[in-house]
Structure 1
């Protein structure tokens, strides 16, 4: 059990900004005692863009504590799936000791039928071992990067953008001196806990079809 907090992210559509409309918190280290509640300020902004609610959590003023795993079961890869190990490996989630809550955060719980994501606030280390997770670059649709701007295995770096008027926790991602996008909201909070020389950021996968659609990268904290 590694994760203590996962943000429920929503956006109107692909390419739009993310709103962290809710947060799941692990109440104690015993595992399954999870609390979900909405973040009122983010909900207000998201409603202006068309947000209603997360269907299984309809009441904005309620704190949800029971049957959360059942409510989120479609977001988790079934243990009977033949490709489960490959899926977990893609997300660096095939390590011992992860429970369903950790798996949800590491794999982000995306479905093709909506625009929700489950974005973990990663610790720097767990039990003295550096964290290792996978994320993807945000804002690609706005930057219109060349399809050959990065390659699998490329080393990346980050810079905090403290004067960003839309998100005070914004983090810019670079290949050398070339700006390639932002860290996702939620994941960006991790980068405020570390320095570039404490971590290794590498491109792990690319999706492109005439344009750069997605850049996945791994983050590993040095022990």
Structure 2
């Protein structure tokens, strides 16, 4: 079983808005990499302003050619001066840094110019280690000094959540912080044993504005 399963293209209107999976990216050894829109989610996204991803304009087509080449525009450039720090932050296996699918899954393809994310459906294989982020901080408004890097967080599965049956709540002590990002949360429901959740990096502005977490098996 591979650690990285399918990757979902996530779109949201803006910070604080609900994340909507709008497409799925699948890779296998015989057919390569495919990109397909998730039809049942498109209407909700389009009502909120979503337009098709550049390079994949036809929402009814299954794309089978040049998928990773198009998506590789989201990946870090090898000439970056801080490349080693970037790899360390995202817990990149140096032996896999040329694997575009792996890199997209691990770094989430985040860019400051749009509202897309690429979130992988990870499998609970021993040794799995990836970076995610606490969702919902715009609502919980956690005090800036409440969390510190290295804090170990508690988690609770939330299968009755009306918006996402794979939701996972995060807590420090008894204080509710928010949720594991959509899709990333699935690994908690698939795991047979405990998962460790550790605060990885924080951004603050009066309150905690972003909280990256490290998820380890």
Q: Scaled by the length of structure 2, what TM-score is found?
A: 0.93
Cα distance in structure 1, aligned partners of 2:166 and 2:124: 17
Partner of 2:165: 168
From 171, 185, 190, the counterpart of 2:187: 190
Q: Is the 8 A contact 1:201 1:218 kept in 2?
A: yes
Unpaired stretches in structure 2, ≥5 consecutive residues: none
CA distance in 1, matches of 2:28, 2:198: 33
Are 2:37 and 1:41 equivalent residues in the alignment? no
The answer to whether the 8 Å contact 1:122/1:187 transfers is yes
Matches within 5 A, 1:74-89: 74-89=73-88
SS in 2 for 1:142: helix
Structure 2 residue matching 1:59: 3-state secondary structure: coil
Deviates more, 1:6-15 or 1:198-207: 198-207
Q: What displacement does 1:183 show? A: 0.9
- Mapped to 1, the partners of 2:142 and 2:5 lie a distance apart of 35
Written as runs of structure 1 = structure 2, the 5 A alignment for 1:200-211 is 200-211=196-207
Where does residue 114 of structure 2 map in the other structure? 114
Distance 2:72 2:103 in 1: 11
Alpha-carbon offset, residue 111 of structure 1: 0.8
Distance 1:167 1:219 in 2: 19
2:15 aligned residue: 14
> Deviation of residue 70 (structure 1)?
2.1
C-alpha distance in 2 between matches for 1:66 and 1:57: 11
Count of aligned positions = 215
Tell me the CA shift for residue 100 of structure 1: 1.0
Residue in 2 aligned with 1:105? 105
Question: Structure 2 CA distance, aligned partners of 1:56 and 1:189?
Answer: 28
Give structure 1 stretches of 5+ with no counterpart.
none
Q: CA RMSD in A?
A: 1.6
Distance (whole Å) between structure 2 residues aligned to residue 220 and residue 166 of structure 1? 25
CA distance in 2, matches of 1:33, 1:74: 18
Distance of aligned partners of 1:95 and 1:175 in 2 relative to their CA distance in 1, 3 Å threshold? farther
Q: What is the TM-score normalised by the length of structure 1?
A: 0.91
SS in 2 for 1:191: helix
In the aligned structure 1, how far is the partner of 2:39 from the partner of 2:175?
Answer: 36
